[in-house]
C-alpha cells in the first residue's frame, strides 16, 4: 500500500515557489529595514501638536507617515508570506510575530495623526487642500475628515492602537489551529489507495463518484472540528465581541455599520443583498432538485453537491497548461493585460502547490513595492484549481494596474471592488470553456455545471454566510451569549432558511460555521456575492457594448482606491446601490440551470 504524503517545503521545486527577492534578497536585508523602522518610530513626535501650524509641517508629516507605512508593508508582506509557506517553521512564525508587533508600535506612535488632522480648523484645511502638492493625499484626507464623528481623542486612539495586537488574537489563534494543529488523517479510497485528507483536497475528494466515500470524507473532516468545537466556538465568540468593542469605541450603532463605513457602503446594500436572495431562492431550489434527480438520489446531502453530474469526464490540467488556458480565456481583456499576466504566472508571482504546513486556500497579496503574489494549493485533477488560479490572477492584475496608475496614498482598492476583477475572470473562463467544448454535450454539461456551482458557492452560499454574521453580531449587541449551541443553532436556522426541504441538513454541517476563516474579518464575505453580481453585469456590458465597455473596465482597474467602491463601479457602468445587479445574477443563474436541464434531458439522460 502506497501512502501519498505531502512534500515538505524543502522538497518543493524552486520554480513552483514564489520569488520573494523583489521584497528582500535575504533575511538579513529584512532585519536591516525592520531595525531602521524601529529607529524611525520616534520621528513621529516632531509633528505632534503641530499639524495646524503650517502647511509645510502638515505636508512633511504626511510624507513621513506614508513613507513609514510603505516600508512597514514591505516588512509585513515578506513576513506573512514566509509564514504562510510553512506554519510549522518557527523562524517564519517569529518574524511574522515581530512584524505584527511592529505594526502595532508604529500604529501607536502615529495614532495622534488622524485626530489632529480632524482638529485642523476648517478654514486652514481648505487652504491646505488647495495646495497643488497635496493632490496625492486629497482623497485620503477627505476620508479622514468624513470619519471625524467616529474618531476619539488622541489618548483614546493611542490606547485603541496599542490594543490592536492583543485584539487580533482570535484570528491568529484560529489560523494557527486550523492550519498547523488540526490533523485530518488519511482515508482508503475506493481504489484501495491511502489518501491524506486536508483543507487543500477536501472538495476534490468530495467530488468522487463513490457516494459512500464522499460521506466518509465529509464525516472524517467534520469529526476534527467536532473534537475542537468548544475551543473554536469560544474563539469565534471572542472575535465577534472584538468587533462589538471597536464599534462601540468608535461610536457606531452596530458592528455592521462600523465595517461598511470605511468604504462608504450603505448598510442597505448589505441588507438588500440578503433580502433579495432570500425572496428569490426558487432557482437555487430548482437546481438542488435537478441535482438530486440527475444523481438518482432519494435525498440530497451537502456532500452530494461537489460531485460532477457527468461523472465519467475526467479533468487533468497541469499548472503550465492552466496558464495557457487562462491567457486564452482572458483574450477579451487585451494583449497587454494577457502578456503581463502570463509573465507573472510563470516568473515568480505564484506559490503553486500544497506542502506540509502551508496555509490552506488561496489568495493574492503583496504591497506597493512588490509583485502581486499568489498563494495556491493547485491540484491538477480539480477544475476548481483552474478557476482559483484565474480568480486570484484577477486580483493580482487589479493590483498591478492600480499600483502602476495610482500614487501610494490611493493605490489600495477595497475588497468590495477586488472581487469584481477576480470574478469577471472566472466568468470569462467559463464562457471560453463552454465555447471550446460546444460540440461535446458531456464536457459542456460538466463545465456548465461547474459554472452553476461557482455561482451557488460565491453568490448564494456567501449570502448565507453574510446572513449568519448579521445574526450572531445582533445577538452579541443584545448582550446575548454566543455559546457553541447558539452559534451552531443560528447556523442551522440559516441552512434551513436557504435550503428548505431541498437538501438534508446533516448535524455535522452545523459545524461549518466554525471553520470559515473569513468570519474573523467581520462583514467581509458579502462582497463575494456583490462582486460576482457586478462582474456578471460588467461581462454582459462588454458583450453588448464592446470596446467602450472594455475601456471602462480597464479604467476601473486603474482607479485603485482613488474613489469609494460604489462610485468606482458606477464608472464601470454598474450601480450596486440598487438591487438590479443582484436580481440579474439570480436570473442568469436560473437561465444556466435551465440550459443544463435541457442539455441533460436532450443528450445525457439515460
Among candidate residues 85, 157, 392, 568, the one labeled active-site is 392
Q: Which three cell numbers stand for residue 566?
A: 460604489
Task: Give the residue among 292, 393, 276, 376 at the shortest CA–CA distance from 337.
Answer: 393
DSSP E strand stretches across 148-307: 186-188, 194-196
Rounded distance, CA 218 to CA 212, Å? 10
3 state DSSP class of 555: helix
3-state secondary structure 113-161: HHHHHHHCCHHHHHHHHCCHHHHHHHHHHHHHHHCHHHCCCHHHHHHHH
Rounded distance, CA 580 to CA 559, Å? 24
> Distances in Å between the alpha carbon of 480 and those of 56, 163, 488?
51, 24, 15
Task: Give the residue among 300, 327, 404, 317 at the shortest CA–CA distance from 352.
Answer: 317
> Distances in Å between the alpha carbon of 163 and those of 158, 242, 354?
9, 11, 34
474 is catalytic: no
**Torsion region of 82: left, alpha or beta (phi above 0 gives left; psi -120 to 50 gives alpha):** alpha
Which residues fall within 8 angstroms of residue 136, CB to CB, at 6 or more apart? 407, 408, 409, 410
Q: Where do the H-state alpha helices sit in 504-560? A: 526-545, 547-558
Q: Which three cell numbers stand for residue 287?
A: 437546481
Q: Which helix (H) or strand (E) holds 351?
A: strand 350-351
3 state DSSP class of 12: coil
> Distances in Å between the alpha carbon of 90 and those of 11, 96, 413?
18, 10, 32
> Distances in Å between the alpha carbon of 103 and those of 41, 68, 141, 266?
11, 10, 21, 30
Q: Which residues are catalytic?
A: 392
Amino acid at each position: 500500500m502506497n501512502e501519498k504524503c505531502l512534500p515538505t517545503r524543502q522538497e518543493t521545486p524552486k520554480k513552483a515557489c514564489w520569488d520573494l527577492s523583489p521584497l528582500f534578497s535575504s533575511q538579513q536585508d529584512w532585519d536591516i529595514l525592520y531595525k531602521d523602522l524601529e529607529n524611525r518610530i520616534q520621528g513621529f513626535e516632531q509633528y505632534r501638536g503641530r499639524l495646524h501650524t503650517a502647511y509645510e509641517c502638515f505636508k512633511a508629516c504626511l510624507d513621513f507617515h506614508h513613507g513609514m507605512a510603505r516600508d512597514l508593508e514591505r516588512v509585513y508582506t515578506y513576513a506573512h508570506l514566509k509564514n504562510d509557506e510553512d506554519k510549522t517553521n518557527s523562524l517564519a512564525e517569529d518574524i511574522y510575530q515581530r512584524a505584527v508587533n511592529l505594526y502595532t508600535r508604529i500604529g501607536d506612535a502615529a495614532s495622534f495623526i488622524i485626530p489632529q488632522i480632524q482638529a485642523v480648523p476648517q478654514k486652514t484645511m481648505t487652504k491646505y487642500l488647495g495646495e497643488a502638492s497635496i493632490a496625492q493625499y486629497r482623497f485620503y484626507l477627505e476620508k479622514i475628515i468624513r470619519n471625524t464623528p467616529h474618531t476619539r481623542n488622541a489618548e483614546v486612539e493611542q490606547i485603541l492602537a496599542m490594543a490592536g495586537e492583543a485584539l487580533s488574537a482570535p484570528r491568529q489563534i484560529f489560523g494557527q489551529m486550523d492550519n498547523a494543529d488540526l490533523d485530518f488523517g488519511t482515508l482508503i479510497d475506493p481504489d484501495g489507495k491511502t489518501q491524506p485528507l486536508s483543507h487543500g483536497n477536501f472538495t476534490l475528494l468530495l467530488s468522487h463518484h463513490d457516494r459512500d466515500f464522499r460521506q466518509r470524507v465529509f464525516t472524517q473532516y467534520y469529526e476534527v472540528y467536532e473534537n475542537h468545537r468548544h475551543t473554536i466556538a469560544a474563539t469565534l465568540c471572542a472575535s465577534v465581541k472584538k468587533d462589538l468593542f471597536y464599534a462601540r469605541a468608535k461610536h457606531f450603532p452596530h458592528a455592521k455599520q462600523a465595517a461598511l463605513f470605511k468604504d462608504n457602503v450603505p448598510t442597505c446594500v448589505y441588507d438588500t443583498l440578503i433580502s433579495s436572495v432570500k425572496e428569490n431562492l426558487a432557482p437555487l431550489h430548482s437546481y438542488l432538485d435537478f441535482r438530486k434527480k440527475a444523481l438518482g438520489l432519494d435525498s440530497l446531502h451537502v456532500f452530494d453537491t461537489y460531485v460532477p453530474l457527468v461523472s465519467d469526464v475526467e479533468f487533468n490540467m497541469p499548472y503550465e497548461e492552466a496558464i495557457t488556458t487562462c491567457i486564452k480565456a482572458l483574450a477579451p481583456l487585451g494583449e497587454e493585460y494577457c502578456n503581463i499576466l502570463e509573465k507573472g504566472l510563470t516568473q515568480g508571482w505564484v506559490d503553486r502547490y500544497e506542502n506540509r504546513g502551508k496555509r490552506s486556500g488561496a489568495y493574492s497579496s503583496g504591497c506597493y513595492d512588490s509583485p502581486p503574489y499568489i498563494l495556491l494549493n493547485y491540484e491538477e485533477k480539480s477544475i476548481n484549481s483552474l478557476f482559483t488560479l484565474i480568480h486570484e490572477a484577477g486580483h493580482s492584475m487589479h493590483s498591478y494596474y492600480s499600483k502602476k496608475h495610482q500614487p501610494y496614498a490611493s493605490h489600495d482598492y477595497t475588497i468590495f471592488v477586488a472581487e469584481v476583477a477576480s470574478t469577471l475572470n472566472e466568468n470569462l473562463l467559463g464562457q471560453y470553456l463552454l465555447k471550446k467544448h460546444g460540440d461535446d454535450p458531456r464536457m459542456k454539461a460538466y463545465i456548465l455545471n461547474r459554472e452553476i456551482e461557482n455561482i451557488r458557492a460565491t453568490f448564494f452560499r456567501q449570502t448565507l454566510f453574510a446572513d449568519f454574521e448579521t445574526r450572531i453580531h445582533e445577538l452579541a449587541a443584545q448582550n446575548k451569549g454566543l455559546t457553541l449551541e447558539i452559534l451552531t443553532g443560528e447556523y442551522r436556522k440559516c441552512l434551513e432558511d436557504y435550503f428548505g426541504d431541498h437538501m438534508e441538513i446533516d448535524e455535522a454541517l452545523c459545524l461549518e460555521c466554525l471553520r470559515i476563516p473569513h468570519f474573523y474579518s467581520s462583514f467581509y464575505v458579502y462582497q463575494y456575492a456583490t462582486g460576482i453580481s457586478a462582474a456578471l453585469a460588467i461581462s454582459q456590458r462588454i458583450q453588448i457594448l464592446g470596446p467602450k465597455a472594455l475601456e471602462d473596465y480597464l479604467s476601473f482597474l486603474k482607479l485603485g482606491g482613488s474613489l469609494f467602491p460604489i462610485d468606482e463601479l458606477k464608472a464601470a457602468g454598474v450601480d450596486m446601490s440598487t438591487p438590479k445587479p443582484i436580481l440579474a445574477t439570480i436570473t442568469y443563474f436560473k437561465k444556466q440551470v435551465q440550459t443544463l436541464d435541457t442539455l441533460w434531458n436532450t443528450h445525457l439522460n439515460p
